[in-house]
A and B are shown apart, each in its own frame.
Chain A
Amino acid sequence: MTIYSYWQVDVTDAATRSEIGARPRTPTVFRDVRTRAINRYDYYAQIAQAAAQTAFDGVFFPYRPDSDDSQTVAAAIAREVPRLALIPEFPASVGSAVYAAKQAVSFQRLTHGRLGWAIARPADAATRASDGDHVPDGQLVERTEEFLTVARGVHGTRPFSFAGAHFEVQGGGFEAPLNRVAFPRVFLQGEDEATLALSARAADVHLFGAAPAAVLRGRIEQLDALASAQGRSVDYGVIQQVLARETDDEARQDAARAGVAAPAIIGDYDSVAARLGELAGLASITSCWARRLRSRKPIALASMSFPASAR
Chain B
Amino acid sequence: MTIDFYWRLPTHGCHGSIRHGAYDRGDWSPLGAHNVAPGLDRYGEDDGFRYIDHLAEIAKAAESSGFIGGLIPSFPNTDDPWVISPLLARETSSFRFMIAFQPGFLNPVHAARMAASLQRATGGRTVFNIITGGGGPAQLWWGDGFSHDDRYGRTTEFLDVFKGVWRGGGFSYDGRFYQVADGGLSPLLAAEEIPEIWFSGSSDAALQSASKHADYYLSWLEPFDQLTDKFARVKERTAALGREQKCAVRVDLVARATEEEAWRDIRAGFENLTEERRAQGRGGPTDSVGAARQQALKPSEARRYDELIIAPNLWGGFNLLRGGPALGIVGSYEQCAAKLDELIARGTDAFILAGTPHLEEAYRIGEEVLPLLGRQAEALLHAAE
Minimum Cβ distance to chain A for residue B194 (Å): 16
Within 8 A of B (CB), among A22-75: 36-37, 39-41, 45, 65-69, 71-73, 75
Residues of A contacting B114 in the complex (Cβ-Cβ under 8 angstroms)? 69, 71-72
21 interchain pairs, CB-CB under 8 A: A37-B123, A66-B186, A71-B86, A73-B117, A76-B89, A79-B52, A79-B87, A79-B91, A95-B106, A98-B105, A102-B80, A103-B82, A106-B79, A131-B180, A132-B109, A132-B161, A134-B179, A167-B143, A172-B140, A174-B76, A180-B27
Q: Looking across the interface, which residue of chain B has its beta carbon closest to that of A41?
A: B121
Are A170 and B141 neighbours in the complex by a CB distance under 8 Å? yes
B residues with CB within 8 A of A: 27-28, 50-52, 76-77, 79-80, 82-87, 89-91, 93, 104-111, 113-114, 116-118, 120-121, 123, 137, 140-145, 161, 178-184, 186, 188-189, 191
Of B52, B105, B106, B121, which is within 8 A of A72 by CB?
A: B121
Residues of A contacting B107 in the complex (Cβ-Cβ under 8 angstroms)? 93-95, 131-133
- Is A85 an interface residue, CB under 8 A from the partner? no
Are B108 and A72 neighbours in the complex by a CB distance under 8 Å? no
Tell me the count of chain A residues lying within 8 A, CB to CB, of chain B.
59
Residues of A contacting B181 in the complex (Cβ-Cβ under 8 angstroms)? 126, 129-130
Task: A72 to B87: give the CA distance in the assembly, Å.
Answer: 8
Residues of B contacting A67 in the complex (Cβ-Cβ under 8 angstroms)? 186, 188-189
- Is A289 an interface residue, CB under 8 A from the partner? no
Of B79, B87, B117, which is within 8 A of A78 by CB?
A: B87
Q: Looking across the interface, which residue of chain B has its beta carbon closest to that of A172?
A: B141
Are A109 and B79 neighbours in the complex by a CB distance under 8 Å? yes
Are B117 and A66 neighbours in the complex by a CB distance under 8 Å? no
Task: A106 to B281: give the CA distance in the assembly, Å.
Answer: 26
Residues of A contacting B121 in the complex (Cβ-Cβ under 8 angstroms)? 39, 41, 68, 72-73, 76
Task: A275 to B111: give the CA distance in the assembly, Å.
Answer: 41
Are A72 and B90 neighbours in the complex by a CB distance under 8 Å? no
Task: A15 to B116: give the CA distance in the assembly, Å.
Answer: 16
- Is A244 an interface residue, CB under 8 A from the partner? no
Task: A254 to B179: give the CA distance in the assembly, Å.
Answer: 45
Q: Looking across the interface, which residue of chain A has its beta carbon closest to that of B87?
A: A75
Are B86 and A76 neighbours in the complex by a CB distance under 8 Å? yes
Are B87 and A41 neighbours in the complex by a CB distance under 8 Å? no
Task: A126 to B183: give the CA distance in the assembly, Å.
Answer: 10
Are B109 and A107 neighbours in the complex by a CB distance under 8 Å? no
Residues of A contacting B118 in the complex (Cβ-Cβ under 8 angstroms)? 69, 72
